[in-house]
Chain A
Amino acid sequence: KAGVTQTPRYLIKTRGQQVTLSCSPISGHRSVSWYQQTPGQGLQFLFEYFSETQRNKGNFPGRFSGRQFSNSRSEMNVSTLELGDSALYLCASSLVRGTGANVLTFGAGSRLTVL
């Protein structure tokens, strides 16, 4: 059974650029959540998508956005990159809606470095 797949695994961008990260959930999982992981703040919730709709959003600026497609695949976008956006971006999927109450299966993450 394939796990959660995130691409790309590593990328380097410069300040002001934008980036798009992709996540393919486990087959049959309809909820996709995104988390940012940094050494200083740990894992922080970005947003959750279910049935192509954003259901919940964390405390991040509007530069962070996402979407979900009809096959449950999700993308997140960060525009006008800042140095502080350097982080590991983790995608997690679950069968049902509710990233706060269900077991999440995480991907390996996309490591973003902003120079």
Chain B
Amino acid sequence: EDQVTQSPEALRLQEGESSSLNCSYTVSGLRGLFWYRQDPGKGPEFLFTLYSAGEEKEKERLKATLTKKESFLHITAPKPEDSATYLCAVPNQAGTALIFGKGTTLSVSS
């Protein structure tokens, strides 16, 4: 069964304290892995798409990496405005829908 698991469920960091979020997936023939950010009261906002193992993408303090079984979202020197829920998603085997993980809720305090 196609599945996406994110860990940890919640993460509290001090401003400037770097860390990583994990997304592991079980789907045959990966067609891409998507990271989204969701702020309270808003819909998810696209961050990155990764397609092949070894690929990395960066945006400000965020860097996403991909292996054959999982993806990491590295947050370097986070700021309070990075507080949000980060969602990982992969297309199902048929490519007809995105399967989302339940997300990691990140809280960064100053």
Contact = CB atoms under 8 A, between A and B. Distances in A.
Interface string A11-39: 00000000000000000000001010000
Contacts of A41: 102
Q: How large is the interface on B (under 10, 10 to 19, 20 to 34, 35 or more residues)?
A: 20 to 34
B54 interface: no
A100 B43 contact: no
B14 to A, nearest CB: 27
Given A42-B102, A43-B100, A90-B44, A100 B87 contact: no
A41 to B, nearest CB: 8
Contacts of B46: 103-105
A56 interface: yes
Contacts of B49: 103
A106 interface: yes
A42 B103 contact: yes
Contacts of B98: 35, 43, 45, 99-100, 104
Interface residues of A, number: 25
Contacts of B87: 42-43
A59 to B, nearest CB: 10
A57 B18 CA distance: 40
A90 B41 CA distance: 11
Contact of A108 (B36, B41, B92, B96): B41
Contacts of A44: 100
B31 interface: yes
A92 interface: yes
A92 B96 CA distance: 14
Interface string B45-74: 110010000000000000000000000000
Nearest to B89: A43
Given A35-B100, A42-B100, A103-B49, 6 more contacts: A4-B43, A33-B97, A43-B44, A44-B100, A45-B98, A103-B34
Interface of B: 31-32, 34, 36, 41-46, 49, 87, 89, 91-92, 94-103
* CB-CB nearest 5 A-B residue pairs: A106-B43, A100-B91, A45-B97, A43-B100, A56-B96
